[in-house]
């Protein structure tokens, strides 16, 4: 019998999506003005307890805007992890600046110890300005990525950022809903700890607007300027006076209508993802050579993506395992290739990258949709068990 296909991550649109989108269409507010946009901004900023929010076309546009808000230009360099989706890096180049690639720690996020070592050994800090000794360029900002919804070590990273007076942009595109439960940032959400945070509502993210994103901050000046820059930098909307070069980056009312309906379900999605995560954890414990990566202690993660390490003792390589799961109609995916090894970034500085390659070699993602059923999880683990024991031979 042909089993149904189990995708890696697909959206679930079973709430008020149709109702609100219909309303947007019936009222003919479909573009970048309309009541749902402001409502969505207020609901997201209320949920994560940020002072302000600006809804944009997608996470990449949000990250580009965030860098512009910090004044990143061609005279600058920006710290970014190499283990990330490339959209955390490309906007640095859109600004004409260069990325400096950092290693990850075991949370898959930026390693604060390497960051400190890099600043101490390779940079000079004078009059509040940090310079790269080898290029003489200013290091202007740090981009942190909360990989798979797991918070990066924000306590460690923020301490260093404060020491060197650097603003921090949190790429929280995968981490809407994750927050610290204790420590310096207790009850603070991913995206609201640094200077600016960015969420994505792409189709594979924890909530979706088809395509969409949001910038959040506790600095209202930055939020006001973000709204201005993302609407063509129009100072006067009657006479069309522009004081800067802006962008057409605003979210539409239709997207925002979807977003509000999705946000209503976010905590339910997280609860399902959490239950499936712990079911995987329990059942995978019996499979030799596979280790489900943990989320950071002292946090409530959003459990967005599940990552397993494939050890040699499993009996198949990571590559082979993805192929074999595909034969069983289960979609799995390797973690992203490291950005500092890719053609556009090969010439950029990469500082002692040692941990990221280990995860690159071993990690795959398993199906994790917010509507994944318990028996799907059991079927996936049972398949892994058979593959591990060598009962299931390679039929490809
Ligand atoms: C999805 C994602 C982005 C970009 O978001 P889009 O809305 O797709 O532009 C950026 N960084 C990371 C880590 C992501 O996963």
The dihedral built from the CA positions of residue 314, 318, 321 and 325, taken in this order, carries a sign that is: positive
pTM (global) more than 0.85: yes
Q: Which atom of ligand 1 is nearest to the CA of 211?
A: 7
Q: Which atom of ligand 1 is nearest to the CA of 60?
A: 9
Which residue is it, tokens 């995860």?
Answer: 359
* Buried/exposed 120-134: b ≥16 CB within 10 Å, e otherwise: eebbeeeeeebbbee
pLDDT exceeds 60 at position 395: no
In 3D space, the residue among 192, 193, 199, 161 whose CA is nearest the CA of residue 79 turns out to be 161
CB atoms within 10 A of CB 345: 22
Tell how far the Cα of 230 is from the centroid of ligand 1, in angstroms. Answer: 18
Q: Check residue 8 and report its DSSP letter.
A: S
Summarize pLDDT for 332-354 with one digit per residue, the tens.
999 999 999 999 999 999 999 99
Give the per-residue pLDDT at 267. 98
Summarize pLDDT for 173-226 with one digit per residue, the tens.
999 999 999 999 999 999 999 999 999 999 999 999 999 999 999 999 999 999
In CATH, 266-388 is 3.90.1150.10: yes
Do 115 and 143 touch, CB atoms closer than 8 A?
no
Give the per-residue pLDDT at 389. 73
215 C-beta closer than 6 A to ligand 1: no
User: What is the pLDDT of the chain when averaged over all its residues?
Assistant: 96
87 C-beta closer than 6 A to ligand 1: yes
Residue 313, judged by CB atoms within 10 A of its CB (0-12, 13-18, 19+), counts as exposed
Measured CA to CA, the distance from residue 194 to residue 70 in angstroms comes to 12
pLDDT category at 396 given cuts 50, 70, 90 is very low
The beta-strand segments (E) located in the chain are: 52-56, 76-81, 98-102, 123-126, 129-132, 138-145, 168-171, 179-180, 196-200, 213-217, 234-236, 241-242, 290-292, 299-300, 306-310, 333-334, 363-366
Do 368 and 330 touch, CB atoms closer than 8 A?
no
84 C-beta closer than 6 A to ligand 1: yes
pLDDT category at 138 given cuts 50, 70, 90 is very high
304 C-beta closer than 6 A to ligand 1: no
353 C-beta closer than 6 A to ligand 1: no
- Which whole number is the average pLDDT over 54-80? 98
175 C-beta closer than 6 A to ligand 1: no
pLDDT > 70 fraction of the chain, expressed in percent and rounded: 98
200 C-beta closer than 6 A to ligand 1: yes
Where exactly does CATH 3.90.1150.10 map onto the chain?
A: 266-388
Where exactly does CATH 3.40.640.10 map onto the chain?
A: 17-263
Q: Which atom of ligand 1 is nearest to the CA of 204?
A: 1
pLDDT exceeds 70 at position 154: yes
In 3D space, the residue among 76, 65, 13, 94 whose CA is nearest the CA of residue 263 turns out to be 13
- Which whole number is the average pLDDT over 85-106? 98
At residue 272, what are phi and psi to the nearest 5 degrees?
-60, -45
253 C-beta closer than 6 A to ligand 1: no
Q: Which fold does the domain 17-263 belong to in CATH? A: 3.40.640
User: Which residue, by CA, sits nearest to atom 5 of ligand 1?
Assistant: 59
Tell how far the Cα of 145 is from the centroid of ligand 1, in angstroms. Answer: 10
58 C-beta closer than 6 A to ligand 1: yes
């Amino acid at each position: 019998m042909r089993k149904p296909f189990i995708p890696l991550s697909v959206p679930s649109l079973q709430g008020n999506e149709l109702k609100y989108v219909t309303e947007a269409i019936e009222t003919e507010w479909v573009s970048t003005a309309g009541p749902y946009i402001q409502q969505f901004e207020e609901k997201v900023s209320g949920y994560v307890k940020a002072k302000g929010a600006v809804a944009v076309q997608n996470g990449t546009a949000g990250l580009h805007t965030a860098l512009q808000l910090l004044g990143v230009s061609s005279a600058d360099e920006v710290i970014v992890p190499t283990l990330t989706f490339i959209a955390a890096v490309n906007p640095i180049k859109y600004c004409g600046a260069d990325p400096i690639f950092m290693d990850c720690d075991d949370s898959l996020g930026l390693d604060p110890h390497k960051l400190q070592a890099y600043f101490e050994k390779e940079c000079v800090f004078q009059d509040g300005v940090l310079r790269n000794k080898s290029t003489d360029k200013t290091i202007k900002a740090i981009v942190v990525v909360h990989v798979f919804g797991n918070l990066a070590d924000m306590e460690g990273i923020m301490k260093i950022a404060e020491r060197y007076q650097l603003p921090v942009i949190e790429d929280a595109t995968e981490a809407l809903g994750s927050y610290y439960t204790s420590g310096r940032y207790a009850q603070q959400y991913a995206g609201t700890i640094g200077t600016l945070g960015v969420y994505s509502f792409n189709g594979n993210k924890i909530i979706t607007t088809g395509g969409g994103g949001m910038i959040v901050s506790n600095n209202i000046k930055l939020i006001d300027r973000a709204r201005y820059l993302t609407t063509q930098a129009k100072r006067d909307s009657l006479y069309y006076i522009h004081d800067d070069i802006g962008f057409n980056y605003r979210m539409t009312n239709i997207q925002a209508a979807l977003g509000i309906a999705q946000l209503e379900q976010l905590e339910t999605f997280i609860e399902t993802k959490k239950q499936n995560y712990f079911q995987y954890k329990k059942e995978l414990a019996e499979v030799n050579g596979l280790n489900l990566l943990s989320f950071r202690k002292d946090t409530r993660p959003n459990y967005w993506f599940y990552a397993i390490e494939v050890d040699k003792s499993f009996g198949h390589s990571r590559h082979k395992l993805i192929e074999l799961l595909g034969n069983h109609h289960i979609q799995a995916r390797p973690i992203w290739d490291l950005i500092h090894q890719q053609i556009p970034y090969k010439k950029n500085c990469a500082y002692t990258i040692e941990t990221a390659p280990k995860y690159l070699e071993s990690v795959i993602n398993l199906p994790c949709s917010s509507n994944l059923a318990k028996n799907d999880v059991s079927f996936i683990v049972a398949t892994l068990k058979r593959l591990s024991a060598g009962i299931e031979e390679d039929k490809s």
